[in-house]
Each structure stands twice: as structure tokens, then as C-alpha cells.
Amino acid sequence: MATSIFIDLPVKELSASVAFFNQLGFQFNAQMTDERGTCMIISETIYVMLLVEPFFQTFTSKPLVNAHQANEAILCLSVDSRTEVDRIADAALAAGGTSVPQQPQNEAEFMYDRNFQDLDGHLWNILYMDPAFAEQPASVEAAAQ
């Protein structure tokens, strides 16, 4: 069995978050949905649990981070093309997400990405990487030689 990852994210308004991510093309598991949260399907092994803040808070005694003011994590998703990067990022902005100015970085011809913040301030990075580059063998040993 493949290992799955479930990322729990606190949200203020579940219905608004579901509407936002529906506009980006994501689907939800109805069996794992109630008034406290829902399971957004990213792939066959990756899921994001959108949990209303009071329910999220039952899993930890630590205070919630205001993602509009501080970074908690960057959720990076790979997609199959530059066009899909633009589609998702543009859909996020049209659905009420906000653009995130990217820091200057080494522009690589094999990689293309865009960032946005969702309605709750969580930072998302949508990334396309040229499969020819990704297929090249890479290891710590090879890089050291």
C-alpha cells in the first residue's frame, strides 16, 4: 500500500474554502465531510483536510498561526504543464485568493511556478518541472563528484 499524506489546514469558513478550491478544480470526499471539515483530494495519495478552526484546535494545544501574517508552510503541488500552473493560479486569483510576490530566484528553464494565498492566507506554490530534467539521475554522491 502506498503511503498517503493528509495535510490539516485550519479554515475560518468551510463553505467559502470549499467554493474557493472547487473553482481551482479540486474535488472533495463526501464521506469525509461534515460541518467540522472536509477532505480535498489532490491525488490518489495526497489529501488536504480543511478543518474549521475550533475543530482544528482540538488536535493541538499550540495556538493557531495567522497565515495572513506569518508563514506556517508552503504547500507545493506539481502539475503537468506551464498551462496548468497558470490555470490554477489564475483560478485562485479569480476565486478571491491573493497574489504573492515571489522573491527573485535563479530562473531555470526546466521549472515554472506561481504562488498564491488562499482565503485563509495559506501559501500555495504550483510548479511545473520539465520531465526530461526530473528523469535525470541525481544523488548526493553524483553531485559531490
CB 89, CB 114: distance < 8 Å = yes
**Is the CB of residue 123 less than 8 Å from the CB of residue 100?**
yes
In this prediction the pTM is: 0.82
Domain holding 43: CATH number?
A: 3.10.180.10
Q: Write out the residue range of the structural domain in which residue 22 sits.
A: 5-144
Note the pLDDT of residue 141: 47
- Write the pLDDT tens digit of every residue in 49-89: 999 999 999 999 999 999 999 988 899 999 999 999 999 99
In angstroms, how far is the first alpha carbon of the chain from the final one? Answer: 36
Number of domains in the chain: 1
Provide Rg for the chain, Cα atoms.
17
* Residue 142 banded pLDDT, cuts 50, 70, 90: very low
What are the C-alpha distances in Å from 100 to residues 65, 73, 74, 115, 118? Answer: 18, 14, 12, 6, 10
